[in-house]
Amino acid sequence: MKNEEARQEFIQLWGTIGTNWGINRTMAQVHALLLISKDPLGADDVMESLNASRGNVNMNLRALIDWGLVRKTHKSGERREFFIAEKDVWKMARQIIKERKKRELEPVRNSLHELSAVEGDCEETEAFRHMMADLSKLTSETDTALEALMNAERNWVTTTFLKFFANK
């Protein structure tokens, strides 16, 4: 497989993976392109490479900046903005975990806390409260595990996962 073909295949793969993370395909493809680009790219470069509209590219670049996965940079003598992705995959993974927690897990935890305060004394209400408490515990433990993963050193995570899968 030639380099250009491999690059295009990776961009398509990352786009598919991104939809599983809850982001749109184009956002993931923009991220993929910036990940594999040696040099920072301008919005026009991204538009041309992905055959995407200016509005779509600009919106997704801003979203990637909001996620902390891409940053703006400037080139000497250039007026336009350039963009570069975080190249350290460990930092990238931590940032994705952080954003997913903020956007998905924290709102669920807050809602479950509010729902657990349901009023009533009947068995059905008690069963509902019990389920909300169980779900709250699960989300709290998930949050704790994700925090540990975000704060862990790369070697610890790799060693732990290897031991886990070796024991299966």
- Where in the chain are the domains? 3-85, 89-166
Which residues, including other chains, have CB under 8 Å from residue 113's CB and lie 6 or more apart?
136
Structure confidence at residue 86 (pLDDT): 95
146 vs 49: CA distance, rounded Å: 35
147 vs 97: CA distance, rounded Å: 9
Q: What is the pLDDT along the chain (168 residues), one digit of tens a residue?
A: 899 999 999 999 999 998 887 789 999 999 999 999 999 999 999 999 999 999 999 999 999 999 999 999 998 888 899 999 999 988 898 898 899 899 989 999 999 999 988 888 899 999 999 999 999 999 999 999 888 888 877 666 666 656 666 665
What are the tokens at 126?
A: 């008690």
Longest dimension (CA), the chain: 72
Is the alpha carbon torsion for 60, 63, 68, 72 positive or negative? positive
Which CATH architecture fits 3-85? Orthogonal Bundle (1.10)
Give 19's DSSP letter.
H
Structure confidence at residue 106 (pLDDT): 94
82 vs 43: CA distance, rounded Å: 7
Cross-strand pairs, 83? 41, 72
Give 101's DSSP letter.
I
